[in-house]
Amino acid sequence: MDTKLCEYMIAIAEQGSISQAAEKLYLTQSALNQQLLKLEKELGAPLFIRTRNHWTVTPVGEVYIENARKMLAIKATAYAQIEDLAKHWRGTITIGLTAERGMQMFSSVYPDMHARYPHTIFQPVEATVEEQNKLLDAGQMDIAFQTIREKKYKSLTYQTILNEPFVLCIPRTHPLAYADMLPPDQFPTISLSLFRNEVFTLVRKSSTMRQMVDRLFEQAGFYPRLLFDSVGMRSMQKLTANGQCCCIIPRFYAIPSSRVAYFFLGNDACWELAAVYRTDHYLTRASRDFIDMASAYWHSHLYVE
């Protein structure tokens, strides 16, 4: 199987359109169609069912696409291993990052990684955990940094970086707020049930964290009145500092402030920060070094200014 043809057929299957696939591959539609027709003649069977609005893969096409992906994975692994042995790193490493904290880590470690591997392209991609998993599964992402509650997929390797507690953030004017300014490893623990009558702003419903936070409220025996759902930790903290609500955030965002107080919520209120990659994916030396540097960054930053 010609790996270039493999790339062409996978693109058509993923786009569901030969015109869109051609655009993605920087080919003319005519040139791509000629390659497809030539391959179908060689195989003696069509790979796609053509309609005006969408192309779907035939059973023969499914077999071809499945094995085409395997061929490209084998090629990528072979080239990566050769690069490591030759110490000649010139590839691209695609790195999945969640919003806010991910890009902050990347911008911090990138200068050192670029100095160490000047000919390697480190390509950051901001995406949700589920979006990252799809890209990892499709072989379109090398490593991802995820905050998770459980290790859901057997096809993925989860390399634990640290376990991170959630923190209840309340206005400093609240009767239960302590006057002391405590560092992140010394926040007192409090029961969420004491805040039954408070208004909360919570992270958006589609996030991994929201599912876990909802479970904490269920265990506390109530569901809070919501000011609104937020897409960012910073806005939640600002509203809390203004005395408008309470919120729950990861410890990483618990910036020392004279206007808010922080509390841990017990052993169940935490998640895991992990580096994630396909179990069958070969990690280059540059990828492993990036994971090590990211891990060192997060261990040295209990919270971020």
Does residue 76 sit in the same domain as residue 59? yes
Q: Which domain holds residue 39?
A: 3-83
Q: What is the model's pLDDT at position 186?
A: 87
Helix (H, G, I), strand (E, B) or coil at 191: coil
Does residue 167 sit in the same domain as residue 256? yes
Does residue 246 sit in the same domain as residue 167? yes
Across the chain, mean pLDDT equals: 92
Does residue 170 sit in the same domain as residue 157? no
Q: Which of 104, 85, 152, 95 is nearest to 124 (CA)?
A: 95
Does residue 181 sit in the same domain as residue 248? yes
Residue where a domain stops, chosen among 27, 57, 83: 83
Q: Contact, 143 vs 287, CB < 8 A? A: yes
Does residue 168 sit in the same domain as residue 252? yes
Nearest-angstrom CA–CA distance, 283 and 279: 10
> The CATH number of the domain where 186 resides is what?
3.40.190.290
Q: What is the model's pLDDT at position 305?
A: 59
Residue 99 CB coordination number (10 Å) = 13
Q: What is the model's pLDDT at position 178?
A: 84
Whether 257 is covered by a domain: the verdict is: yes
Does residue 97 sit in the same domain as residue 38? no
Helix (H, G, I), strand (E, B) or coil at 27: coil
Whether 305 is covered by a domain: the verdict is: no
Residue where a domain stops, chosen among 30, 62, 83: 83
Does residue 120 sit in the same domain as residue 252? no
Whether 124 is covered by a domain: the verdict is: yes
Q: What is the model's pLDDT at position 304?
A: 67
Residues of the chain with pLDDT under 70: 304-305
Q: What is the model's pLDDT at position 48?
A: 95
Does residue 216 sit in the same domain as residue 157? no
Q: Contact, 13 vs 69, CB < 8 A? A: no
Q: What is the pTM of this model?
A: 0.78
> The CATH number of the domain where 72 resides is what?
1.10.10.10
Does residue 253 sit in the same domain as residue 283? no
Angle between helices 29-43 and 3-15 (to 10 degrees): 110
> 69 exposed, middle or buried (CB, 10 Å; 0-12, 13-18, 19+)?
middle
Domain count, the chain: 3
Whether 121 is covered by a domain: the verdict is: yes
Does residue 261 sit in the same domain as residue 167? yes
